[in-house]
Amino acid sequence: MGLRMTKQNQLDKLKQECNSCQKCVLGSTRNNIVFSDGSAEAKILLIGEAPGADEDATGTPFVGRAGKLLTKLIEDCGFSRKDDFYICNTVKCRPPENRVPTNEEKALCEKYLLEQIKIVNPKVIVLCGATSAKSFLGDKIKISQIRGQWYKLFDGIDATVIFHPSYLLRNHSEAEGSPRWLTKQDLYKIKKISSR
């Protein structure tokens, strides 16, 4: 009888498969696939939009200016990015010029994302930004109207929507009611729900 594969082993195997993927045009323009960051044992799975230039260069999601802001915000709210989050994107390769990934590109990459969710089996899914939210909640949504609301995805996993940190880079205020202030309130709620 073989040993049961750990979550990390399963994710490593999936990453190897993803590494050789050429299903869409993004496979031919990438430097690296950007598979994930954080812990396979995390209770919170955060899904961003798509890799940017810094991510494509390093193979790690959310490492540019927006990623540094995301890390600061989650640490300000008492989280460890490395231990409390598993972070990935709707697509694993950078779209040229950081454009929004197409529905076809997202559909072709969806297998990897759904498998990541299944393996990690988080308590909470955080949809980070409009592209991520639209992937799960439909194209007609407006992020300003749905951020902070809670949904049930898959087999009853709690899910919520937060502003993308690239949007927060353009909104510096931390005054009550500002996008940064709202994001911190959302993160505190995520912390409460994930620790139940």
DSSP 20: T
Cβ atoms of 180 and 152 closer than 8 Å: no
| Strands 124-128 and 157-162, sheet pairing | parallel
SS3 content of the chain, % helix, strand, coil (to 5): 45, 15, 40
Strand order in the sheet with 85-89: 37-38, 85-89, 44-48, 124-128, 157-162, 150-153
Q: What is the mean pLDDT of residues 16-43?
A: 97
Considering the entire predicted model, what is its pTM?
A: 0.96
**Mean local confidence (pLDDT), 143-168:** 96
Average pLDDT in the chain: 96
What domains, with CATH codes, occur in the chain? 7-194 (3.40.470.10)
How far is residue 89's CA from residue 86's CA, in Å, rounded to a whole number?
A: 10
User: Does 13 have pLDDT greater than 60?
Assistant: yes
Question: Judging by beta carbons within 10 Å of its beta carbon (0-12, 13-18, 19+), is residue 140 exposed, middle or buried?
Answer: exposed
pLDDT digits (tens, 9 = 90+) for 38-88: 999 999 999 999 999 999 999 999 999 999 999 999 999 999 999 999 999
Question: How far is Cα 147 from Cα 195, in angstroms, rounded to an integer?
Answer: 20
Contact predicate 64/54, CB 8 Å: yes
Distance CA 63, CA 49 (A): 13
